[in-house]
A and B are shown apart, each in its own frame.
Chain A
Amino acid sequence: MPDQSPHKLVATAKAVLLSPVGRAVLALGLVLLVGVAFNADGAFFKTGTHRDALRQMSVYGMLACGMTLVITTGGIDLAVGSVLALVAVCSATMAIHWEWSAWLVVPLSVLIGAACGLGSGVVTAWLRVQPFIATLAMMVFARGLAKQLAGGMKVSTAVPQADGTYQYVDVPSLYRAIDARLLGGHVSTVTLVFLACAAVAYLVLSRHRLGREFYAIGGNAEAARLSGVPVVRSTVWAYVLSGALAGVAGLCQASQEQQGDPEAGAGYELTAIAMVVIGGTSLMGGRGGMGLTLLGVLTIGYLDKILSINAVPSATRLMLTGVIIVAAVLTQKRGRY
């Protein structure tokens, strides 16, 4: 570094720390420090712990990617957890019971998710129902549909026969592949799927016309409309993408459970929202980005892992998580409104 006066260095450090990214990195760093301090007899320093932590946050992360797109438009998508369950049930039925090929199951799973998103998007943007209400309706509808299709039980490798007995089938190779590890066993496939989802969301948000329109709509929908942004169409796209990503998450959830559970994903939407917000994306819309969400996913994911390896009782866990979310969001908020 060319000779800079100490004063200048301090100013630069201050500017970095006060930027949204700086703050998000700071929050993540603090959580990791907690992990170093409470390392559960060295468990925190094992590579396997980090591989598992990254796997466990991946499904939430996929939902958070879609949530980022929707929140950027100033909306919210409460339906993602239920859509996850619906897709988990559908994909398990297709892959386990009907033994369809992966080439059919994967695109259909994503399509089912996207169709749910299309529903939410049309009701929100075209029928002009508040996103909170529209996606709340989709949340209960998709959950009901998942239960209906699953017939009140999990869709598993024990396939019910007409005479009331069960026939056991193998776990489909698609599920095994998604739940496998790659790169010498150091990375779970779902983590790579999550990174791919994050890359897609990043490209849409930062490198595509659609992303610029999301920011414009989130900033001021009326101004966006007057300057020629197709507000209805772009908003619908945000929900469709969120639904499609929830579809990918549902497929990954079913693969890891080796079954389609109609009760899966309950409350996941709230974790996803917390991940987006803790990263520093504004719930008001128009501000934020995928990089921030990535940091938010890591922060909440690692917090969860650290509490888990230390076998912290669940009551304490909930309280600590609540306190840390507020603390992290407060540091994000200062000086920005």
Chain B
Amino acid sequence: MHRTITALCLILSFALPGCSGSSSSSGSQSDSAATGGAEPKWTIAMSQCNLGEPWRAQMNADLKRAAAEHPEIRLVFNNAENDTLKQRSQIEEFVSAGVDLIMVCPKEAQPLTEPIAKAYRSGIPVVVIDRQVLGDDFTTFIGADNVAIGREAGRWIASHAKPDARIVELKGLMTSVPAQDRHAGFREGLGDVGEVIFEADMQWLEPQARKEMDSALARFDEIDVVFAHNDPGAHGAYLAAKAAGRAEGMLFVGIDALSHEGIAYVNQGLLDATFEYPTGGTVAIETALKILAGEEVPKNIELGTSTHAQAKYEDE
């Protein structure tokens, strides 16, 4: 009896982390965009690598919204729950189900290149979003460029801060490619304006960012600009500076511009600016429609960023 319960708990504890998504635990949810009785002509299957990150939930929401305007397509969402092999079998299932188009946000490049290539070679168009795969056996790649976004943020700070500004950079997890790219782009865009006096890895986490900012505040009496690799980081830094009574006159800049995070913080007057890391949801649907209509699409579609700054910067 005792042993059975132990075994049961073991099974439970390992089955549960899988359900990390915010949506149904089955990991699959169908969203028929059909309206007014029109039968959808095409089925698009989407495999999202995980829904634990708010940004990915936002991408699915954007896709859903864009697809809702086109009754001729039916969009089916799948959540790979951060499991490479699960994502691989999802792509294989799409092929055997004979869907008309596959969208995939690969969890990682190497192990998913082969399944995606197989699907593509079987004649199903594949739209790869956000993360690259190797080779070129896919129809098109849609993604944003973190170097370009970091550069844009650097330039904005260079033009809004004083030339000898003392800057704190709160970096994302530096073993991750987005953090490395944002860092490189930022330094490039900043040019020779200001001096980065304190940099720390806050691992994309808000409490960590607040802690590091506390240290920066303790160590330096003058800080003019805080640049964080994501908006929660910039928000944590703002809270630290505010608690120290030093937020006034300090610039706070973040990246991502999710509507309930970065944009909300800018609208509430906490952050000065945030730079959108676009999900590409709308572009993906538009591109998919072109492919289904038989049009040529570019192999690589780069998404631009947009700046969301407080209203006071608009006339400049």
Contact = CB atoms under 8 A, between A and B. Distances in A.
B16 A141 contact: yes
24 contacts: A40-B218, A40-B219, A41-B219, A48-B244, A52-B215, A56-B214, A128-B2, A129-B9, A133-B9, A134-B9, A137-B9, A137-B13, A144-B16, A147-B20, A152-B22, A152-B23, A154-B232, A157-B268, A158-B268, A166-B264, A256-B207, A304-B211, A308-B215, A314-B203
B261 to A, nearest CB: 7
A143 B57 CA distance: 18
Contact of B17 (A140, A308, A314): A140
B178 interface: no
Contact of B207 (A133, A148, A153, A257): A257
B5 A127 contact: yes
A56 B211 contact: yes
Given A48-B218, A154-B260, A158-B260, 4 more contacts: A154-B232, A166-B264, A181-B243, A311-B198
B218 A256 contact: no
Contacts of B200: 308, 311, 314
Given A43-B218, A48-B244, A257-B236, A151 B22 contact: yes
Contacts of B19: 144
Contact of A257 (B9, B22, B206): B206
B96 interface: no
Nearest to A261: B206
Q: Which 10 A-B pairs have the closest CB atoms?
A: A152-B22, A158-B264, A140-B16, A43-B219, A308-B215, A314-B201, A309-B215, A52-B214, A43-B218, A49-B218
Contacts of A143: 17
Given A134-B9, A137-B13, A311-B198, A179 B260 contact: no
B260 A166 contact: yes
A23 interface: no
A160 interface: yes
B260 A153 contact: yes
A151 B51 CA distance: 11
B98 to A, nearest CB: 31
B137 interface: no
Contacts of A258: 239
B9 to A, nearest CB: 5
Interface in A278-312: 304-305, 308-309, 311
Interface in B195-235: 198-201, 203, 206-207, 210-212, 214-215, 217-219, 232
A127 B2 CA distance: 7
A133 B13 contact: yes
A150 to B, nearest CB: 8
Interface of B: 2, 5-6, 9-10, 12-13, 16-17, 19-23, 51-52, 54, 57, 174, 198-201, 203, 206-207, 210-212, 214-215, 217-219, 232, 236, 239, 243-244, 259-261, 264, 267-268
A123 B261 contact: no
Interface of A: 40-41, 43, 46, 48-49, 52, 56, 123, 127-130, 133-134, 136-137, 139-141, 143-144, 147-148, 150-154, 156-158, 160, 166, 168, 179, 181, 253, 256-258, 261, 263-264, 304-305, 308-309, 311, 313-314
Contacts of A52: 214-215, 218
A130 B6 contact: yes
B12 A137 contact: yes
A313 B218 contact: no
A152 B57 CA distance: 7
A192 B67 CA distance: 53
B5 A168 contact: no
Contacts of A308: 200, 211-212, 214-215
A123 B9 contact: yes
A160 B267 CA distance: 14
Contacts of B13: 133, 136-137, 139-140
Given A40-B219, A168-B267, A308-B200, A152 B210 contact: no
Contacts of A153: 22, 54, 57, 260
A166 B9 contact: no
Contacts of B198: 311
A139 B17 CA distance: 10
A46 B214 CA distance: 12
A263 B17 CA distance: 13
A308 B239 CA distance: 17
A149 to B, nearest CB: 10
A313 B207 contact: no
A133 B10 contact: yes
A166 B86 CA distance: 35
Nearest to A53: B214
A154 B54 contact: yes
A46 B16 contact: no
Nearest to B267: A168
A154 B258 CA distance: 12
Contacts of A46: 218
A176 to B, nearest CB: 11
A147 B20 CA distance: 7
A263 B212 CA distance: 19
B232 to A, nearest CB: 8
B210 A256 contact: yes
B240 to A, nearest CB: 8
Contacts of B232: 154
A129 B6 contact: yes
B237 to A, nearest CB: 12
Given A129-B9, A133-B9, A147-B52, A156 B261 contact: yes
A158 to B, nearest CB: 4
B260 A156 contact: yes
Interface centre among B23, B218, B264, B267 (most CB of A within 10 A): B218
